[in-house]
Amino acid sequence: DTGVSQDPRHKITKRGQNVTFRCDPISEHNRLYWYRQTLGQGPEFLTYFQNEAQLEKSRLLSDRFSAERPKGSFSTLEIQRTEQGDSAMYLCASSLAETTNEKLFFGSGTQLSVL
Amino acid sequence: AQTVTQSQPEMSVQEAETVTLSCTYDTSESDYYLFWYKQPPSRQMILVIRQEAYKQQNATENRFSVNFQKAAKSFSLKISDSQLGDAAMYFCAYRSEDSNYQLIWGAGTKLIIKP
């Protein structure tokens, strides 16, 4: 297991199109997080899962965004009717919740450009 | 609400020298965690060092150490013997003791290493 992987690495789409990103966490990790990062800023929390349950979703997250984690393994993040303001890097992270010294492991992100 | 501030958008240091990156935060909580993450051009966010607020002793990881001043709400990162591979964006982050998921991030400091 080489860590958290995200696909695709880059995505260019036209405004109004739907896009879907995939995240494969470290296999034994039960928590999975999605963050969004715009240029010159730190990441912004979007949502997180414990196993297959989505336990928290940012109030800033538009209804156009939806995330799933079927079977508590990989996760997908879908953005419907994309807007230019959705252009950002989307980061996925995973962790093992039972450890007292919980550490997040991040993927390399999906860079989305909406034209 | 908690906030994290990194007042240095960019710092540069000569290879083998020491550099200190600043971070301040605002919180009314007494128990929390602070982190420094590194984001190289590969975009993967990598944990550099972690500090529990209840610990008075400053955390150290090889060439990386922190100066944690709880009363002043300051959490600076010192990098000794700077290496070319240290060049990256460095982010300071805060997490509440009772929050399993939400990291509050600073805007980052770009560290340039001069050979």
Taking the CA of residue A6 and the nearest CA in chain B, the distance in Å comes to 11
Taking the CA of residue B91 and the nearest CA in chain A, the distance in Å comes to 7
- Say yes or no to pLDDT of A1 above 60: no
Q: Which residue of B has its CA nearest to A98?
A: B100
**A42/B91 touch (CB, cutoff 8 Å), yes or no:** yes
- Say yes or no to pLDDT of B40 above 90: yes
pLDDT tier for residue A97 given thresholds of 50, 70 and 90: confident
- Say yes or no to pLDDT of B62 above 90: yes
Q: Name every chain A residue with its beta carbon within 8 A of the beta carbon of B4.
A: 42
Instruction: Give the one of A3, A41, A45 whose C-beta lies nearest to B103's C-beta.
Output: A45
Q: How far is residue A3 from each of residues A27, B18, B60, B99, measured CA to CA in Å?
A: 8, 31, 24, 24
What is the arithmetic mean of pLDDT over A2-10?
A: 93
3-state SS string over A9-73?
CEEEECCCCCEEEEEECCCCCCEEEEEEECCCCCCEEEEEEECCEEEEECCCCCCCEEEECHHHC
